[in-house]
Each structure stands twice: as structure tokens, then as C-alpha cells.
Amino acid sequence: MTTLRRASIGLLLWKLIRYAPRLYWTDTLLWLCIAGLPVLPGLVIREFFNQLTQQSPSVFSAQGWIALFLAIGVAQIVAIILGRITKTQHRFTMNSLIQHNLLRKLLEHPGAESLTMARAETISPGEVMSFFREDASQIEDNVVGTNEVLGEGVFAIGALLLLLSVNATITLFVFLPLVLIAVILHRVSDRIKRYRRASRQATQQVTGMVGEMFTAVQAIQVAGAEKSVLAHFRQLCDQRRQSIVKDQLLTAILDSSFDNLISLGTGAILFFAAQSMRSSQTLSVGDFALFVYYLAYVTYFLGFLGGFVALSKQSEVSFERMQALVNAEAQTLVEPHPLYLPTLTGRKSQLPVPRQDETCDRLEALRAINLSYHYPNSKVGITNISLELQRGSFTVITGSIGSGKTTLLQVLLGLLPMQSGEILWNGQTISDPAQFFVPPRSAYTSQVPQLFSTSLRENILLGLQKDDTEVLAAIALAMFDRDLAMMPDGLDTQIGSRGMRLSGGQIQRVAAARMLIRQPELLVFDDLSSALDVETEQKLWSKLFQLSSPTWNPTILVVSHRRSVMERADRIILLHESRIELEGTFADLPSAYTKPL
């Protein structure tokens, strides 16, 4: 396991800011206007009152003052509308970048390995949803909050300086709430993080359970377990409610403490200011009005700053959680990558067409030497497996249930990370099998293949640019043509969520068509016995062998228990308890494995 460093939240936010600098600074500029324009009425009010009390010369008529106020108001409205547009675009961009990077890192994870938090507790796909939703939007709030702090801050400091020039002693009181806010934040920052972590964890469990319930509706019904499943769900929801109430309550207490501190401070300052006005006459009526107006402005900023610091603490939790999920430094979550989002002017960037490697190194020989993989906290998996596949050969892996057949295929293809051993393609060591064993080098049909809720055609092509004639040829090769003939919508047939409208065998055959249309050098099938009866499977292999030509002469590796398949094999590898027990041909197999199926 990699030891992950804790990155500074400031640095991570800065990297996000630098991803879309023009958008960020335009938004900041507009936010400066939104925050800064309210400063002007303060100055206008001072002049107005001073003019009214004849403490300064008359500048405008009554209509002039009204027009000035209106103009400032209209400018504010325009700035707010433009600011909302840029802010929405910026928010969306930040959220998308985080989600994109999170998904990218998750896809780098070995496909067949369970997701874990910091490699300890296993985490379900449903639970992962909460990272994409809550954690990503938490960070989005934080990054866009920086320019609000900046906008408000610049003018709050300006206003503070102006107040200092009017009356330094009274203005210094403004700092008092700030000091208190800093003390409170320092005291409770651990608690803020703890509560946030607990509420995120609870949300993760609820989304995980929702995901599992949806995928296992039938299993729950068949077992008559609706009541107990719902009771468990209710318990998780209760835990979530409790932890979120704590989290939100703490945030609300902090916010209202900041506001009240500030209001109390403001009251005291105004009291002293009024006293000083009465006794020493050092403050004019206009100055007092300016004080009243700007004080609210400065103190609002102090409260806002306190909230922003608390928000940053909560974002730290989100980054820590994501870092643990992807088992990579938090920096990788803020890396710049193209997002292809429409711009502010509505310009859409073209999504790149998926790369289609039409050619690759022709497979002459594939060797695996001493491959080992054992599942976390267990002794099962595969131990010291070596094998060699020659071009155009047909190799069958067989063995008792749980002997490691699927694990061997998955380690070979990089879907599980090998813990020791070496894989060589034409004598060259493959350093990253997961990246290497993809079409057109190899393709794989697992025991339970994944289909998508779209048309049959799209499930087979998955972005590949091939016409219907080629799709139909692959379908015929995968022995799915008779099934297709029964479907009124043909290739446009919608197969439902993850292929719900197809039988298990049909799903496997569609997945086989998906791999065959790519004409890979290496074809890997994990047990087609549920997809095809003996006779149809025979036809599939015969067709595949007849296909062998100078342009496509696939090497085939399959897991099978079928005698008819083993009889065809050039080589059979018999596994027992994670190890190779025997390697040879059908004639070498013990009689227990040669019974007809």
C-alpha cells in the first residue's frame, strides 16, 4: 500500500483555480464589482448627510442624489446577473474536473479488484456515488468561495482603512470579533472535520445500500427478505440523519455565533461612536452614517471569512476521503485534463473520437512466468503459474470449482494486479498488463459480462466505427444471429438496464460479438457453457478455426469444463487449489475430468 501525504488545501485550491484562470479571474472581477459597488452608497450617504447638515458644500440637487443611487443600483444588478453566469460556469467546471479526475483514477484501478478505502474496508459502487456528489460539490463550493472572499475582502479592507481614517480607536474594536472567531475556529476545527467525516461516511453507506438493493431486487424478493433489508436500510438512514444533524448543527452554531459576535461588536462600536459624537463632536453626522453603513460591510466579511475557513476544513475531509478511495495523492484529483464543456459563449468543443488502434504487434508467443496473486487477507488465488500460448493455438484452463481459473485469466489480463511473476508478449516484458491487454491485442468475455442500457448495436460497437455488415458478421460468429432474428427492432433493440431484457446466455453471446468484431490477436473466454449448448459451442469454435487467415489468426484461451472443448484443445492446463496440477492434452487428463458434459 502506498503511503499518501496530506496535501495542503490551499495548494489544491490554487491548482483548481489555475485550471480555468480566465473564467476564475473574470468571475473574481465581477465579484469585486458585486462586493465593491455597495461601498459607493456609503460615500454618497456621507456626502448627502453632510450636505443636509451643511457640513459640506452642496454638490447635487435632490434629483441628482436619487439618480446617483439608481445608477449604482442598476450597475449592481448588471454585475450580479453577469456574476451569476460566470459563477455557474465556473462551479460546473470545477465540479466536472474533480469528477473527471476521480473517475479517471477509479478506471485505472485493476478492473476485477474490489474498491477499498485505503485498502481496508471494501466499498460498493453505490457508495462511490457519494464521492461524486457530496465530496465533489463540497470542493466546488470551496474553490468558488475563494473569489468571493477575495472580492468581499478587498472592499472590506478598503472600508476598514476608511473607517480608521475617520476614527482609529473605534475602528480597532472591529478586530475584536475577528480575534474571537479565530479562537473559536481553532478550538472546534478538529470537531468540524470529525463530524464532516462521520456524515460523509454515513451518506456513503446509505447510497451503497440503495445501489445494492436496486441490483438485488430479485434476490431480496426470492429470499422474502424485504422487511429485514428495509429495517437495515432504515437503521443506516437513522445513523445518517444523526450524523448529519450533528454536522449541520455545528455549522449552524458556528455561523450564528459569528453573526451574533459581530452584531454585539457592532452594537458596542456604534454606542461608543454616538457617545464620542455627543461629547467631543469629532464625528460628523455624515461620518456616523458612514460608520453605520461600512461597519455592517466589514463585519459581514469577518463572518463570511469564518465560514470560509470552516468550509476549507470540510473540503480537507473530502480530499482525504477521495485520496483514500483512489489510493493516490490528492494532487492527482486536481490535475488539468480537457473536459470538452460548452464555453460561456456557447461554443462546444468536439469530443475526441476514441482511439482505434487498428494495428498491433502480431502475437507469436505469450508467456507467463510464475504468476501469483492472493486475495486480500486470504490464501486463495493463484500460486506460481507459468504457461505459454503459441500463435493460433487453442488452450483450455480447467479444474475444480474455486481452483483459480478466473483469477488466472484476470491476473494475466491485468484485471487483478500480479503480486509476483512476469508476462512476456513475443519475448517483451509487459509492465502494465491492464493497459496492454486491450483490443486489438486482446479481448475478454467474463462469466458475467457487463452490458449497457442502450441498443444492441452500441453495446457491440462501444464507439468503434464499423458498419452494420461487420456487426452482423460478428453476431453470426458469436452465434447470436438466431436470437437477433426474433428481435423486431434488430440492432436497434434496447436491451434494458445492464441487459435486463436478455437472458444470461444472450448477454454472454452479445459480449462475445463485442470482442469478435475487434478481431483481437488473443481471444479470452471465461466459461461459455451458460451461453451456448454443446452443439452451438462446437459450431462457434469450428467457425473461429475456419476463420484463421493471414490477416486474422487468433490465439484462443478459454476456461471450460466441457469435454467437447477440451478434446479440441492443443493444450490443457489443469488447476487445483491455486496451482497447476497438470499440463498436457486431453489424453493426459485424469478420468474425473474427461466425462462428457
Q: Interface with ligand ATP by CB under 6 A: which residues? A: 114, 375, 378, 380-381, 399, 401-407
Phi and psi torsions of 507, nearest 5°: -60, -45
Beta bridge partners of 445: 525
Q: Which is nearer to ligand ATP, 9 or 423 (CB)?
A: 423
CB of residue 577 to ligand ATP, shortest distance in Å? 9
Residue with cell 494475466: 412
Quick check: 339 and 112 in contact, CB under 8 A?
no
- Residue 15's CB is within 10 A of a number of other CB atoms, namely 18
Nearer to ligand ATP by Cβ, of 64 and 402: the residue is 402
- The DSSP symbol for 114 reads P
What is d(CA 248, CA 197) in angstroms, rounded to the nearest whole number?
Answer: 12
Closest distance to ligand ATP from the beta carbon of 298 (Å): 59
Q: Judge whether 283 and 276 are in contact, CB under 8 Å.
A: yes
Q: Of the two residues 501 and 579, which places its CB atom closer to ligand ATP in the complex?
A: 579
**Phi, psi for 59 (deg, rounded to 5):** -105, -50
Work out how close the CB of 495 gets to ligand ATP at its nearest, in angstroms, rounded to a whole number: 25
Residue showing cell 478481431: 519
**How many whole angstroms from its chain centre is CA 336?**
15
Q: What is the rounded CA–CA span in Å between residue 556 and residue 553?
A: 10
Query: Which residue lies nearer to ligand ATP by CB, 114 or 384?
Result: 114
The grid coordinates listed for 467 are 458498419
Shortest separation between residue 504's beta carbon and ligand ATP, angstroms: 14
CA distance 52 to 46: 10
Cβ proximity of 426 and 365 under 8 Å: yes
Closer CB to ligand ATP, 203 or 560, in the complex: 560
In the complex, the smallest distance separating the C-beta of residue 97 from ligand ATP, rounded to whole angstroms, is: 32
Q: Which residue has the cell 436619487?
A: 66
CB of residue 111 to ligand ATP, shortest distance in Å = 12
Closest approach, Cβ 438 to ligand ATP, in A, equals 21
Distance CA 52, CA 48 (A): 6
Closest to ligand ATP by CB, 304 or 373: 373
Q: Are 211 and 125 in contact (CB under 8 A)?
A: yes
Residue closer to ligand ATP, measured from CB, 381 or 520: 381
Shortest distance, CB of residue 593 to ligand ATP, whole angstroms?
Answer: 13
**For ligand ATP, which is the closer residue by CB, 34 or 573?**
573
Residue listed under C-alpha cell 451643511: 54
Instruction: Report which of 381, 412, 438, 421 is spatially closest to residue 526, judged by C-alpha positions.
Output: 412
Residue 73 or residue 402: which is nearer to ligand ATP going by CB? Answer: 402
Residue 81 makes CB contacts below 8 A (sequence gap 6+) with none
Cβ at position 194, least distance to ligand ATP in Å:
32
C-alpha to C-alpha distance for 295 and 172, rounded to whole angstroms: 11
The residue among 303 and 399 lying less far from ligand ATP, judged by its C-beta, is 399
- For the bound state, the minimum distance from the C-beta of residue 487 to ligand ATP, rounded and expressed in Å, comes to 30
Residues of 403-432 as b/e, b for ≥16 C-beta within 10 angstroms?
bbbbbbbbbbbbbbebeebebebeeeebee
User: From the CB of 511, what's the least distance to ligand ATP, in Å?
Assistant: 16
Q: Among residues 325 and 385, whose Cβ is nearest to ligand ATP?
A: 385
Tallying the residues shown for the chain, one arrives at 597
